[in-house]
Amino acid sequence: DAKTTQPNSMESNEEEPVHLPCNHSTISGTDYIHWYRQLPSQGPEYVIHGLTSNVNNRMASLAIAEDRKSSTLILHRATLRDAAVYYCIFNFGNEKLTFGTGTRLTIIP
Amino acid sequence: KAGVTQTPRYLIKTRGQQVTLSCSPISGHRSVSWYQQTPGQGLQFLFEYFSETQRNKGNFPGRFSGRQFSNSRSEMNVSTLELGDSALYLCASSRLGQATYEQYFGPGTRLTVT
């Protein structure tokens, strides 16, 4: 199964940028990198995904390393509502997304 | 646009029984995936259906099965329930497939097996 490595937990101050790292050294050239987050007592929520180039949307930015073995999710200005578990995942050739344990992000007011 | 809906939201069953869960995807979405979430194992992929065909399957026993109808609605069935099947079952829909398109998750069905 596809394997990603993320820190178990991170903290950030409210209204500051947050950089969430992810390592995915076994990724292949055609695998998309996806980020989802799960707020307490809710189902996962799509954040962003990309293949090679950096991606931006209204929620976040995704910076993908040139060798694609790592990526960083950037929340430009964290709010209390961003406190969640963030999952970095990719399909493993057979198009089967596997969620790891994710990074629990705590926002400090 | 309405989101992904799952019914029922909560369910209590006893060991040995079977259960059927239902998922209605977002209109226009043809892919439906099912996941099991438990505190110990996290979020685990069960299977994905696309245009009424199972496209991918996770590492779960044959007691777990599913199907998709022509209107893209999907059901999953668990037979001979075990205590370990107690979990939150999540359904997610995407336009053409989970690998390259964003998924939208429903609120889940909380299954308790006693």
**pLDDT, tens digit, 9 for 90 and up, residues A33-65:** 899 999 988 889 999 999 888 999 999 999 999
Q: What is the pLDDT of residues A57-89, one digit of tens each?
A: 999 999 999 998 999 999 999 999 999 999 998
Q: What is the pLDDT of residue B100?
A: 67
Spatial separation of the C-alpha atoms in residues B54 and A31, rounded to whole Å: 21
* Closest chain A residue to the Cα of B45, Cα to Cα: A98
Q: What is the pLDDT of residue B27?
A: 94
Interface touch A91/B90, C-beta < 8 Å: no
Option in A32, A34, A96 nearest B56 (CB): A96
At residue B101, what is the residue type?
Y
At residue B58, what is the residue type?
G
Average pLDDT over residues B48-60: 90
Percentage of chain B modeled with pLDDT above 70: 96
Residue A87 burial by Cβ neighbours in a 10 Å radius (0-12, 13-18, 19+) = buried
Q: What is the pLDDT of residue A92?
A: 57
At residue B19, what is the residue type?
V
Closest by Cα among B74, B47, B42, B43 to B58: B47
Option in A42, A94, A100 nearest B56 (CB): A94
Spatial separation of the C-alpha atoms in residues B100 and B38, rounded to whole Å: 26
- State the greatest distance between any 2 C-alpha atoms of chain A, in Å, as a whole number: 42
Q: Is A37 on the interface with B (CB under 8 A)?
A: no
Query: How many C-beta neighbours within 10 Å does residue B36 have?
Result: 22
Residue A101 in this model has a pLDDT that exceeds 90: no
Q: What is the bridge-based pairing of β-strands A84-90 and A33-38?
A: antiparallel
Mean pLDDT in chain A? 89
Closest by Cα among B82, B84, B85, B80 to B109: B85
Average pLDDT over residues B1-28: 95
- Which chain A residues touch B106 with a CB distance below 8 Å? 43
Q: What is the bridge-based pairing of β-strands B109-113 and B10-13?
A: parallel
Band the pLDDT of A105: cuts 50, 70, 90: very high
Q: What is the pLDDT of residue B99?
A: 64
